[in-house]
Amino acid sequence: MRGMTRREREITDREAILGILDRSKVVHIGLTDGDEPYVVPMNYGYTMDEDGTLKLYLHGATQGRKLDMMRKNPKVFLEMECDLQPFAGDVACRYGLAYQSLMGRGLAVILEEPQEKMDALSILMKTQTGGDFTFNERLVKVVSVIRIDVLEYTAKGRAVPERASAE
């Protein structure tokens, strides 16, 4: 993936990246259909292996625009952010917003196997609520479950500058 312009804001620490994945709760998934871009916000669950391999899990209705697009072109781009904190400055251009964010590219896989769907929904609920939930085959039949194999990702953070006042 292309390097970051503001390198000093890049986050590479594993624990910090896990924090972004835990706190963001909503991912914006970018899709393309021919030359037409489409972005859809969704809740997600995630797993990250020791080596940093990242997978996201999404769920939703069994039909709709995003599913049609993913079937045609499984390439996705994703973005999530958390810890938004506006800050004030002495002049307009010193106002800003502190944040932490993660972006990446990946491939969407629409899951078919019931056990894989049940496991994915448990992961999603864990990320969203911190709780442990189980699902049965009847429940997973009526929803679509998507795994995003994240091929590359970067994380970035902007802190409140020392001289600024948080709003």
Does 26 engage in binding with ligand FAD (CB under 6 A)? yes
Does 1 engage in binding with ligand FAD (CB under 6 A)? no
Does 72 engage in binding with ligand FAD (CB under 6 A)? no
**What is the DSSP code string of 27-74?**
EEEEEEETTEEEEEEEE-EEEE-TT--EEEEEEE-SSSHHHHHHHH--
Q: How far is the CB of 110 from ligand FAD (least distance, A)?
A: 12
- Cβ neighbours of 27 (radius 10 Å): 22
Does 37 engage in binding with ligand FAD (CB under 6 A)? no
Q: Which residue is nearest to ligand FAD (CB)?
A: 64
Among 60, 74, 96, 114, interactor with ligand FAD by CB under 6 A: 60
> Of 144, 158, 143, 141, which Cα lies nearest the Cα of 108?
144
Does 74 engage in binding with ligand FAD (CB under 6 A)? no
Residue 56: φ, ψ to 5° = -115, 155
CA distance 155 to 104: 9
Does 76 engage in binding with ligand FAD (CB under 6 A)? no
Does 65 engage in binding with ligand FAD (CB under 6 A)? yes
Does 40 engage in binding with ligand FAD (CB under 6 A)? yes
**Residue ranges in contact with ligand FAD by CB under 6 A:** 26, 40-43, 59-61, 64-66
